[in-house]
Structure 1
Amino acid sequence: MSFEAGAKPRAEGENLLARIALRFAAWSEHWFPDAFIFAAAAVVVVAVAALVNGASAAVVTKSFGDGFWSLIPFTMQQVMVVISGYVIASSPPVARLIDRIAALPRSGRGAVAFIAIVTMALSLINWALSLVFGGLLARAIAEREDLKMDYRAAGAAAYMGLGCTWALGVSSSAAQLQANAGAMPKALIEITGVIPFTQTIFLWQSMAMLAVLTVVSTLIAYWSAPSPSRAVTASMMGIDAATRTPPLRPRERPGEYLEYSPAITLLLAALAGGWLIQEFAAKNWILAISNLNTYNFGLLMLGLLLHWRPRSFLNATAKAVPATVGILIQFPLYGGVTAIMTAMTPEGHSLALRLAEFFSSINTRESFPVVMGLYSAALGFFIPSGGGKWVLEAPYVMQAANELKVHLGWAVQVYNAAEALPNLINPFFMLPLLGVLGVKARDIVGFTALQLAFHLPIVLFLLWALGLTLVYTPPVIP
């Protein structure tokens, strides 16, 4: 009997919430279109709304075309986040590190909790790195014969970085965008100004929320993992967990000499190291790391060093590129949507201003974090893109924050914390991890849905309570 044929009785033995989540995952996997369709639909809906708001067809179409390429710098930056994360995680030294730490857990449940902790920590640095590293760690532990780990629960734990904590660290697309004037659309700068990391992810309130969510997620991962008698292992699912990245093939031609020599790697790393030393010496380290170009540059050069030979680095890069397709295709659409939303009518009222007025009218300073958190989480299920969705929301959300005197950095963190919630049940960002694990979304989403049931009320409460401790300051326009 195959795993699929025997899975139903096991699912029925789980708690009610897990059964509902598994059925929902199967339904969404069957009926939900590609995320590109949601982005394209957003263009159509916003264009129609702008026309209803009084903008002419000429203004709407021109705004769409003008804005289509407005996010190209940020798009490429996010592509490099994915590539650098994959390159580092798949390097031989990191692969050996994974094998070593895979020997640390002493029980199946302990292994699941351990994977959750590791991936949440890594997600604060690079969300793509956390996905790939977490998936490879789950596979390495699944190889062990001395403990019986539920592979589905382990896969869900490997997703906790992106499903819980990534947007509260330097990997946050929204915080990175707000800290980099060169990457922001001009219309957004005029509303929010530049908001440094000290006012977003490095707020003590943000770090307190991160600590709470890390502890809660780890405990849920541990207690929701099935006992050894009920665990479904990788072998039971027909998965060979021993899969490894193939070694380099032998050099065949003289022209490949430099591809296999570390000389080029060392020279590039020396140049990069010299620049990074000067960059951090000239600036406060927080300001230096807030620059997404500096962040990506350092990670990419680290990946090159870890692979040692240029050919190994290039092979890893080639494998990482397919994971960037969604970013490359969707972000230009988000840029067009932003331009349409901020295009002025003859009366001087953009769609973004209308929405800002609406959210200001139904909110107070105290209710803003909860209402906007719920709104952002709901929208995130249909537009699964942290940076792209922020560009859509920011013009009217941040305008409302200004009018209600909500701390602008905390408004960004409201988005960050809430935006991660739909990731727990949306298959879009699971795709890179699922590819590493060799499973389907429905295999792990029951466990991630259980996390969502706990996260939603906790996140909303923390956004409200911690937001009360912050004082509004006007935006700084460069």
Structure 2
Amino acid sequence: MKIAQQLIKPFTVFITRYYPDAFVFAILITVLTFILSITLTDATATTALMSWGDGLPALLKFAAQLSLTLLAAHALAHTDVVHGLLERLGNIPKSASAAYALVAFTAGVGSLIAWSLGLIVGVTLARHVAIHCANRGIKIHYPLLVASAYAGFVIWHMGYSSSAALFVATPGHSLEAVMGVMPITETVFSLENGIIALIALLAITIVCPLMHPDKKDIIEIRSELLKQESTLEPQQRNETVAQKLENMRALSIAMGLALAAYMTASFAEKGFFLTLDIVNWSFVSAGLLLARSPLHYMKLIQNAGATIGPIIIQYPFYAGALGIMSGTGLVTVISDWFTSFSTAETLGLNAFLSAGLINMFIPSGGGQWAIQGPIFIEAAQALGVDHSIIVMAVAYGDQWSNMIQPFWTIPLLAIAGLHLRQVMGYTVMIFLVTGIIFATSLLILSSG
């Protein structure tokens, strides 16, 4: 454990001193993208500027979908049933090591189901664990506990909500003429992906406890966060017709069942495939079915509002960076550079590294695949590389560099009550460990 503490110390010092707030990071990324576009491509400053401005609204629909995902996941996590389950789970750890391991493992499993579920359930569980440990006198380093929750996010693209895998599994996708429709049994549901996901999940479950600091460096959960999060005040009295309707659970159940019926009919007609919209409706449906009433559900949604404000304002700036990269050809320059020295054995690895780099500029799995996918699929065609390796390599790279890209920490830190500089030093270590796992796995798959 001492060795792990020594390894992590330089990262925590660097992050504390030099890593800016997530919004400032987005501004710096925009400036860097602009400079690179006029340096590495033939684009003029005017072209880059116009590409940036035209790109700002490009992902507004996606930003709205993300916001709904986080709102619905947060509300679901705070319904009586799920809240009670997480509270009971939080009471399990009897030591600091067990606490970090439980949070990392649970967040990882949740992320495989849906990325937003992993984030929200992970950090909510972290708070419950911190509270129970504080009551027992167990010294828990709260920033590491929250970092453990974020660590589970490093495998989200290997699960049910994988953007790249769902894209190529959807009939009519833009690359269908080249690669056809690739069923998810060849990507996220493949044996190889399952084994790699399990290895990565076990790795973060083991590594997180090893980063536990010395007693003198422990930062416990703040006193104002020690109280358990309630699932809202008792139901108001039904004094008027309006109040009776607001508290009528049958209404929220009816709406939840209607959504469930729609999804069932959709699967029966189109086959089982997941989209971000389906994920959203499944969360909303479950939340409505478990809520006490329509009014209760709306208050749960209202309480979740703090998690999405920064995302709504920041995502357009990343969309602007995407506009610069695609409009000036910068993303093609970067991807072509990686493919230029690739062989059949290394194309998957280079697609992974390229995706990890570009994710720093475009934290969107779907958007990233849309602009990188065609380039690497074309290279795969020329080198005779299995298309599924490229799909998952880009997915692995996208999820991997989230450990050093602060955007997705926004909803997590809003709930935890921490700043990213307090947790990201630990996620850098997760970045390094999982990077070795993903890179090695892709080399083995490509040589097989």
TM-score by length of 1: 0.79
- Paired residues for 1:43-122 under 5 Å: 44=34, 48=38, 52=42, 65=54, 74-122=62-110
Specify the alignment match of 2:244 in structure 1.
Answer: 257
User: What's 2:156 paired with?
Assistant: 166
Conservation of the 8 A alpha-carbon contact between 1:334 and 1:391: no
Amino acid of the residue matched to residue 421 of structure 2?
Answer: R
Q: Partner of 2:274 in structure 1?
A: 290
* Matched residues, number: 442
Closer, same or farther in 2 for the Cα pair 1:264/1:464, shift >3 Å? same
* Partner secondary structure for residue 52 of structure 1: coil
Q: Secondary structure at the match of 2:113?
A: coil
CA spacing shift, 1:380–1:71, aligned 2, 3 Å? closer
User: For residues 247 and 39 of structure 1, do their structure 2 counterparts lie closer, same or farther at Cα, with a shift above 3 Å needed?
Assistant: farther
Residue 384 of structure 1 aligns to a residue whose secondary structure is coil
Counterpart of 1:219 (choices 206, 225, 228) is: 206
Written as runs of structure 1 = structure 2, the 5 A alignment for 1:325-404 is 325=309, 328=312, 357-404=336-383
User: 1:414 Cα shift?
Assistant: 1.0
With over 3 angstroms needed to count, the CA separation of the structure-2 counterparts of 1:27 and 1:337, relative to structure 1, is closer
* Residue pair 2:144, 2:426 contacting (<8 A) in 1 also: yes
Q: Does 1:153 align with 2:131?
A: no
Matched residues in 2 for 1:336 and 1:447: separation?
A: 29
Q: Deviations over 1:387-431 (max 9, x none)?
A: 333334334333333333332222121122222222223332222
User: Structure 1 pair 256/406, CA: closer, same or farther in 2 (3 Å)?
Assistant: farther
Distance in 1 separating the partners of 2:181 and 2:313 = 27
1:276 equivalent to 2:267? Answer no
What residue ranges of structure 1 are gaps of 5+ in the alignment?
1-11, 345-349, 470-478
Name the structure 1 match of 2:227: 242
CA distance in 1: counterparts of 2:217 and 2:353, whole angstroms: 34
Cα distance in 1 for partners of 2:33, 2:276 equals 27
Counterpart residue number, 1:406:
385
Instruction: Tell me the secondary structure at the aligned position of residue 117 of structure 1.
Output: helix
1:295: how far off? 2.8
Structure 1 residue 24 corresponds to structure 2 residue 17: no
Q: Aligned partners of 2:290 and 2:63: how far apart in 1?
A: 25
Aligned-residue CA RMSD in angstroms?
A: 3.6
Q: What is the distance in 2 between the residues matched to 1:381 and 1:372?
A: 15
Summarize the alignment of residues 117-156 of structure 1 with structure 2, pairs less than 5 Å apart: 117-144=105-132, 145-146=135-136, 148-150=138-140, 151-156=142-147
TM-score (norm 2): 0.84
Counterpart residue type for residue 288 of structure 2: L
Amino acid at match of 1:88: L
**Cα distance between partner residues in 2 of 1:461 and 1:176:** 24
Task: Specify whether residues 448 and 360 from structure 1 end up closer, same or farther in structure 2 by C-alpha distance, changes over 3 A only.
Answer: closer
Q: What is the CA distance between 1:170 and its match in structure 2?
A: 1.3
Three-state SS of the structure 1 residue aligned to 2:344 is: coil
The AA in structure 1 aligned to 2:340 is: S
What code does the residue aligned with 2:348 have? P
Residues 377 and 422 in structure 1, CA contact (< 8 A), matched pair in contact too: yes
Provide the rounded CA distance (Å) in 2 between the counterparts of 1:400 and 1:254.
65
Do the aligned partners of residues 38 and 88 (structure 1) sit closer, same or farther apart at CA in structure 2, a change above 3 Å counting? Answer: farther
- SS in structure 2 at match of 1:439: coil
Q: 1:140 to 1:463 in 2, by over 3 A?
A: same
Higher alpha-carbon deviation: 195-204 or 56-65: 56-65
Identity %: 24
SS in 1 for 2:360: helix
Residues 410-455 of structure 1, C-alpha deviations (whole Å, 9 max, x = no match): 2121122222222223332222222222222232233322323322
Counterparts of 1:419-438 in structure 2, within 5 Å, are: 419-438=398-417
Q: Deviations over 1:266-318 (max 9, x none)?
A: 2212322333333344454xxx2334333322221111112231122222223
The AA in structure 2 aligned to 1:161 is: G
Displacement of 1:103 in angstroms is 2.0
Q: Paired residue for 1:208? A: 195
Distance 1:21 1:333, change over 3 A: closer
- Is the alpha carbon distance of 1:76 and 1:232 closer, same or farther for their aligned partners in structure 2, counting shifts above 3 Å? same
Do 1:38 and 1:382's aligned partners in 2 also have CA atoms closer than 8 Å? no
| Amino acid across the alignment from 1:312 | H
Q: 1:70 to 1:142 in 2, by over 3 A?
A: closer
Structure 1: how far apart are the matches of 2:67 and 2:374? 23
Question: Closer, same or farther in 2 for the Cα pair 1:230/1:159, shift >3 Å?
Answer: same
Distance 1:63 1:224, change over 3 A: closer
2:308–2:411 Cα contact (<8 Å) kept: no
C-alpha deviation, 1:132, in angstroms: 2.0
- 1:232 to 2:218 alignment: yes
Q: 1:149 to 1:422 in 2, by over 3 A?
A: farther
Contact 2:115 2:156 in 1 (8 A): yes
Asked whether the 8 Å contact 2:166–2:274 carries over to 1, the reply is: yes
Residue-by-residue CA offset, 1:61-80 (whole Å, 9 max, x unaligned) = 59974x76665654444333
Alpha-carbon distance between aligned partners in 1 of 2:3 and 2:190, rounded to the nearest angstrom: 43
Q: CA deviation at 1:109?
A: 0.9
The letter of the residue matching 2:372 is E
Equivalent AA in structure 1 for residue 242 of structure 2: G
C-alpha distance 387-57 of structure 1, shift in aligned 2 (>3 A): same
- How far does residue 26 in structure 1 lie from its aligned partner after superposition? 1.3
